Amino acid sequence: MEKRFIYADNAATTAVSKRVLDAMLPYMTEQFGNPSSIYKLGRDAEKAITIAREKIADAIGCSPSEIFFTSGGSEADNWAIRSAVLRLGAKGKKHIITTNVEHHAVLHTCEFLEKQGCEVTYLPVDENGLVTAEQVRNAIREDTAIVSVMYANNEIGTVMPIREIGHVCREKGVLFHTDAVQAVGNIPINVGEQNIDLMSCSGHKIHAQKGIGFLYVKKGVPMTNLIFGGAQERGRRAGTENVPAIMGLAEAVTAACENIPEKAARVAEMRDRLIDGITKIPCCRLNGDRTNRLCGNVNISFLGVEGESLLLLLDANGICASSGSACTSGSLDPSHVLLALGLPHEVAHGSMRLSISDETTDEDIDYILETVPKVVERIRAMSPLWEDILNGKENIQKAMKFVSPLK
């Protein structure tokens, strides 16, 4: 098969779409006004962001006044959790509940707050990366300020039971935040029906530009200001609005939330073809829940293979993939998410994440299915660990229990 270029890392970022770019461009040049200015050029910019806010609110089923623009998902996560603890901590509520597979934007915020005197419960996930509403119920205490559970995991694609967790939080009167960065556009979201109080979203995962996102804050939820200054974002986050980015975000959210069931079904079909095809390779393992899974996520570990080598060789064959979260690529430790599933280091080191989208074609899938086994074989041929596996060495037997059989 002829070499192709395949972008299979949509969970890392996406290209700005033509539709989004068209929505942005006028606001960089002719429509450059400051929304706070009194003259028509400024008023037009203000009108534009009002409409953008309405579009986003429509897409997730909330009111426009409940949308706060941020620089992206990480900022929204930081703000939501710190804000809840700052406001409720004063009333003695200094307990946070989250999971051990969250994005670092949540985990590192929690670690910071622990140093400030908060107590954090990190709920363990099961072998597929799921927590249950019951676990959340059992962890809630008198002094719990907020529960933060991600909608869908960025590495392994597992989709959490958000509605049920939200229901428990409502019952117990505890704030519920979800990082929905990977879920928007892949799962239909209605914040009211899903009992969500705070929700973080990012633009660049859904074809908007990098550096824009939003936090949904249910009316009445106590908030602190993130940036002090002007009256932008109702004084909560000062600073002149990034009008072109906001226009692009609104267009991206609208586009992403159109026909989700049809799009997701088609993508899931390609995903399943990838999973079924790649797991024919001996000594591998699908990471994440097979059923409760993002439509575009494939995460597979190959024993005897090291993840970075795999990615470099896939790249040499034109395939952009990732090994766990790109944010952790500076670290040598395997992904905290894979370790949280209970995987031994040997299995976690050999992981590959492919994240496809509705732009992926059947031909792309054919090409990936042809390339991955060859690349794995090439790496294993020079791997002393694979040699140990073939020779049935004792040291590797524990790891062998986590993967498919050799023959």
Partner 1 sequence: MLYSDKVMDHFANPRNVGEIEDADGIGEVGNAKCGDIMKMYIKVDGGVITDVKFKTFGCGAAVATSSIATEMIKGKTIDDALKVTNKAVVEALEGLPPQKLHCSVLAEQAMKSALSDYYRRQGIDPVPIVGEIGDCEDCH
Exactly one of 115, 384, 391, 394 binds partner 1 (CB under 8 A); that residue is 384
Gap between the Cα atoms of 101 and 107, Å rounded? 8
β-pair type (6-7, 95-99): unpaired
* Catalytic entry in 110, 118, 169, 327: 327
Angle at 157 between CA 249 and CA 283, to 5 degrees: 145
Out of 150, 385, 400, 403, the residue judged to bind partner 1 by CB under 8 A: 385
Q: Does 306 bind partner 1 (CB under 8 A)?
A: yes
CB 377 → partner 1: shortest distance, Å?
14
Q: Which stretch binds partner 1 (CB under 8 A): 75-83, 171-179, 306-314, 362-370?
A: 306-314
Question: Known catalytic residue: 118?
Answer: no
Q: Please report, for the chain, how many H helices and E strands are present, in that order.
A: 14, 12
By beta-carbon proximity to partner 1, the closer residue of 24 and 303 is 303
Q: Which of residues 335-354 bind partner 1 (CB under 8 A)?
A: 344-346, 349
Asked if 329 touches partner 1 (CB under 8 A), the answer is yes
Say if CB 120 and CB 107 are below 8 A apart: no
Shortest distance in whole angstroms from residue 378 CB to partner 1: 10
308 binds partner 1 (CB under 8 A): yes
Q: Give least dist CB 183 to partner 1, A.
A: 29
Q: Which stretch binds partner 1 (CB under 8 A): 53-61, 74-82, 277-285, 324-332?
A: 324-332
Whether the CB-CB separation of 270 and 46 falls below 8 Å is answered with no
CB contact at 8 A, 370 and 3: no
Listed as own residue / partner, the contacts of 114-122 with beta carbons closer than 8 Å and 24 or more positions apart are 118/85, 118/89, 118/94, 118/145, 119/94, 119/95, 120/95, 120/96, 121/95, 121/96, 121/97, 122/98
Taking the C-alpha atoms of residue 287 and residue 27, their distance in angstroms, rounded to an integer, is 43
Q: Could you list the residues that contact partner 1 (CB under 8 A)?
A: 304-309, 312-313, 316, 329-332, 334, 344-346, 349, 382-387, 395-396, 399
What residues are annotated to the active site? Answer: 327
